[in-house]
């Protein structure tokens, strides 16, 4: 009996070793082939080493000196190392671990990223397109330094996404930051008199975003999905004595301009209006008219320092209540 059990144990162990070896080899081959395909497509796709470890229960992939660049979109990424960790019996669920330093380049600028403990839990659909099912990313002590002359910092941030039930190409999004310090160049533009603190205490964002294509491996390899709709379930930003909250839905046209209404609550709206003028978002010649009209809206809301009103987007113009306040922003991912 003991010999039989021992024999079964040996057979099972050999079978598991064979499974792990085949799986780890397949993973290493697949990633190497993907990088080679990117080079064939005209990308820069260089690395120093690529290996898979973690026997017996894990497929832990580590790539060093990774350099990816897509000349068609102008996006690029460099990292001294990058790790993808997964259990060998759950190959569609991975933990991605970024290094403490990395560089992201866009068509407009280069951004150096430093952080502590940047990682994400990522689940993919079990298909060859590797469609993103859900992900949760967290980071501490994040600093973004751009060669365009700005620096942004935050103590911590969490971003999560999951496929929206019953809606194709849509994701539920959640973002929360703690002690976000915006770039000085941004603060100097909207707060030239330095009346506000340097840090946003809290930013919370909960929404459902619709896209014109799925977020899958094709989105990495080529054109990125463009935003088609945004349902804001919660937006809350606290900055000193200012507090801004918003909920509502907008649809975006083919050029990325929104149409729809968002209900906003603005505490200390007078200061926000002055900041809008300082930033050039609100025409200075409209300041007096807007102060009178928005003051009336605030009184109707029951508190002269707080506005409860719809923020409307139509014909590429933003209106707060019945008052036009500026041009609508354009949201585009692809150049």
Is the Cβ–Cβ distance between 284 and 275 less than 8 Å? Answer: no
Map out the domains of the chain as residue ranges. Answer: 1-91
pLDDT of residue 25: 54
Pairing of β 93-97 and β 75-87: antiparallel
In whole angstroms, what is the distance from residue 66 CA to residue 47 CA?
4
Count CA atoms within 13 Å of residue 52 on its CB side: 21
- Classify residue 288 as left (phi > 0), alpha (psi -120 to 50) or beta: alpha
In whole angstroms, what is the distance from residue 271 CA to residue 243 CA?
11
pLDDT of residue 210: 95
Whose tokens are 């002359």? That residue is 149
pLDDT of residue 107: 87
Helix (H, G, I), strand (E, B) or coil at 66: strand
Mean pLDDT per 10-residue section of the chain, whose length is 335 residues: 46 40 58 82 89 73 91 90 81 88 92 93 86 93 91 92 93 92 68 70 91 89 89 89 88 93 83 69 73 74 77 89 81 80
Pairing of β 110-124 and β 151-163: unpaired
pLDDT of residue 6: 43
Bridge partners (DSSP) of residue 152 are 144
pLDDT of residue 140: 94
pLDDT of residue 21: 44
pLDDT of residue 54: 64
| Predicted TM-score (pTM) of this structure | 0.73
**DSSP states along 163-192:** EPTT-TTEEEEEEEEEEEE--HHHHHHH-T
Angle at 26 between CA 24 and CA 29, to 5 degrees: 110
């Amino acid at each position: 009996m003991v010999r039989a059990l021992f024999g079964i144990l040996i057979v099972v162990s050999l079978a598991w070793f064979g499974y792990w070896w085949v799986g780890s080899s397949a993973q290493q081959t697949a990633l190497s082939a993907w990088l080679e395909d990117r080079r064939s497509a005209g990308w820069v796709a260089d690395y120093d080493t690529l290996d898979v470890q973690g026997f017996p229960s894990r497929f832990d992939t580590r790539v060093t000196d990774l350099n990816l660049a897509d000349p068609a979109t102008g996006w690029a990424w460099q990292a001294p190392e990058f790790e993808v960790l997964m259990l060998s019996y759950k190959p569609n669920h991975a933990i991605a671990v970024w290094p403490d330093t990395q560089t992201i380049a866009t068509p407009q600028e280069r951004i150096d990223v430093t952080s502590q403990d940047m990682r994400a839990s990522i689940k993919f659909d079990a298909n060859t397109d590797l469609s993103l099912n859900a992900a949760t990313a967290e980071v501490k002590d994040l600093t973004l330094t751009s060669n365009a002359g700005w620096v942004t910092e935050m103590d911590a941030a969490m971003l999560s996404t999951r496929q929206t039930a019953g809606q194709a190409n849509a994701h539920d999004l959640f973002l929360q930051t703690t002690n976000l310090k915006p770039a000085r160049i941004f603060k100097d533009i909207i707060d030239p008199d330095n009346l506000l603190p340097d840090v946003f205490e809290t930013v919370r964002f909960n929404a459902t975003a619709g896209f014109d294509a799925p977020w899958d491996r094709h989105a990495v390899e080529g054109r990125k999905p463009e935003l088609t709709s945004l349902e804001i379930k919660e937006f809350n930003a606290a900055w000193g004595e200012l507090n801004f909250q918003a909920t509502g839905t907008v649809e975006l046209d083919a050029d990325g301009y929104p149409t729809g209404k968002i209900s906003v609550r603005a505490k200390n709206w007078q200061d926000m209006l002055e900041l809008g003028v300082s930033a050039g978002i609100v025409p200075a010649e409209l300041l007096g008219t807007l102060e009178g009209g928005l003051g009336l809206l605030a009184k109707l809301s029951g508190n002269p320092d707080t506005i409860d009103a719809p923020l409307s987007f139509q014909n590429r113009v933003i209106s707060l209540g019945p008052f036009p306040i500026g041009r609508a922003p354009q949201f585009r991912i692809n150049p």
